[in-house]
Copies of this chain bind each other. A is one copy, B any other.
Amino acid sequence: MSIKVCIFLGIITFLSPIYLSKGDYIFATDYYEVPVDHFSYARNETFKIKYLYNDTYWNRTGNGPIFFYTGNEGLIEVFAQNTGLMWDLAPQFGALLLFAEHRYYGASMPFGNDSFSSPDKSGYLTSEQALADFAQFLTWYRTSEGAEKSPIIAFGGSYGGMLTAWMRMKYPHIIAGGIAASAPIAQFQGLTPCNKYGQIVSADFQRVGINCFKTIRKSWGIINSFGENDGGRGWISKTFRLCKHLETKDDVEQFKEWLVDVYGYLAMIDYPYENSFLEPVPGNPVRAVCNLLSDPNESGKVLLRSIFKGVSIYFNYTGQSKCLDFTDEATGDLNAGGWDFQACTEMIMPICYDGQTDMFEPNPWNLTHYSDDCFSRFGVRPDPKVAELIYGGRDISAASNIVFSNGLLDPWYGGGMLNNLSSTLIAVVIPEGAHHLDLRSSHPKDPASVVTARKIEAGEIKKWIAEFHEKHEKQNLYYSSLEM
């Protein structure tokens, strides 16, 4: 089985096209020049990162806050359009909306099309460099707008949520506080069991019906059996309307990986209302899939036909897809290349399946194999401990002013912070929430738990803003006593 480098990104890249087409929010676009390397003086290159802003609601004269999205692995427009919480809260806070693109994604390529050609170019794609981009950008932005008295509140989801948390931890003089949604800052080696992700996905399906769980678990053996010979592979290819026929056993492995990913994505986007992603999906898509997978006693072909109908809800809800492209991994463009590279250097988030506590085939985490694959693809090798070294893993009690929100339907919550660490490090658990549901715009079908979560978040933001202004007034007095 080939090593899957890219798991975390998947959903974002998958979903980008439709996210973009659903552009409900309006913003202006500009660029800001940053050094390729913030942490040495060996190179002088610079490049531009993209940022978006909207000042419709900004109470500039009243030192209204800046709501800042710490852009993650994808086009910044995606996050601007899909972080409705920021837009919903902006009017009541008189906030400016600001979204900065992460280096090496979207239009923010340090070396243009060559950005991933070799490690001496791609090597500056790290979270630390991205945070330094944001720090420099925000300092400049606030100064150029004369907004030194405007506190900056960071928002981020998923990897962007990790960046929000780390931004507050490393640059608390720039970020007054942060909403880190579905941020698996502890999804690293030795901090979270690698089978946790698969257990949560499986539990999501089991919650809807134990038979669903059993049906999926049973399917792997049947696929393997069919995958043994040309006839079986042909039958699967035809039944699942595969764009590319299963010619070899490797194809079968890749097909199964696609299915595993889809179950994970379904768990991540298990929102209570219809939403249009790669293809539109209904509300509670896991339930919709499981309604079709209710009988684990079905025999081979019947059971696989049910599986096909089930996953069709994910990739073909409207019936417009001509075929199922199981080779469509999130590696086809530079964005995906970006995350794959990060997943091959510092963002090593081990995922494994044991087949006992989850509904998947056993698939252990193999760092050696993973590392070799990274080296052959990018000329770099992963450093599984570096993220913990730099950011502290779960040991972040010295930080402050961060809300960590996690939905219990989200496979990533296993690597998240689920307990309050102090009065200013708040954990918000959303039992009915999938991947950063709280960051989305409010919706009539929102469960009560996410409504409450957003209220808590707004309350914390209010506190951070008050604290900032109080501190700022004190500091002004102090500075003015210095003869500069």
Most buried by B among A39, A120, A121, A171: A39
State whether A483 touches B193 (Cβ < 8 A): yes
Q: Does A40 contact B (CB under 8 A)?
A: yes
For residue A401, which residue of chain B has the nearest CB? Answer: B398
State whether A392 touches B43 (Cβ < 8 A): no
Closest-CB distance, A315 to chain B (whole angstroms): 33
Q: Which residues of B contact A389 (CB under 8 A)?
A: 135-136, 139
A129 vs B41: C-alpha distance when bound (angstroms): 11
Chain A residues within CB distance 8 Å of chain B? 37-43, 119-126, 128-129, 132, 135-136, 139, 170-174, 190, 192-193, 345, 380, 385, 389-401, 419, 471, 475, 478-479, 482-484
Q: Given A173-B395, A471-B397, A482-B193: A40 and B135 within 8 A (CB)?
A: no
A151 vs B291: C-alpha distance when bound (angstroms): 54
A395 vs B380: C-alpha distance when bound (angstroms): 38
Q: Which residues of B contact A190 (CB under 8 A)?
A: 484
Q: Which residues of B contact A38 (CB under 8 A)?
A: 39
For residue A357, which residue of chain B has the nearest CB? Answer: B483
A121 vs B43: C-alpha distance when bound (angstroms): 10
By Cβ-Cβ distance, the 4 closest A-B pairs, closest first, are A42-B123, A173-B392, A172-B398, A41-B123
Closest-CB distance, A218 to chain B (whole angstroms): 25
Q: Which of B135, B171, B345, B400 contacts A41 (CB 8 A)?
A: B345
A484 vs B354: C-alpha distance when bound (angstroms): 13
For residue A173, which residue of chain B has the nearest CB? Answer: B392
Closest-CB distance, A25 to chain B (whole angstroms): 30
For residue A414, which residue of chain B has the nearest CB? Answer: B482
A197 vs B377: C-alpha distance when bound (angstroms): 54
Q: Which residues of B contact A478 (CB under 8 A)?
A: 394, 419
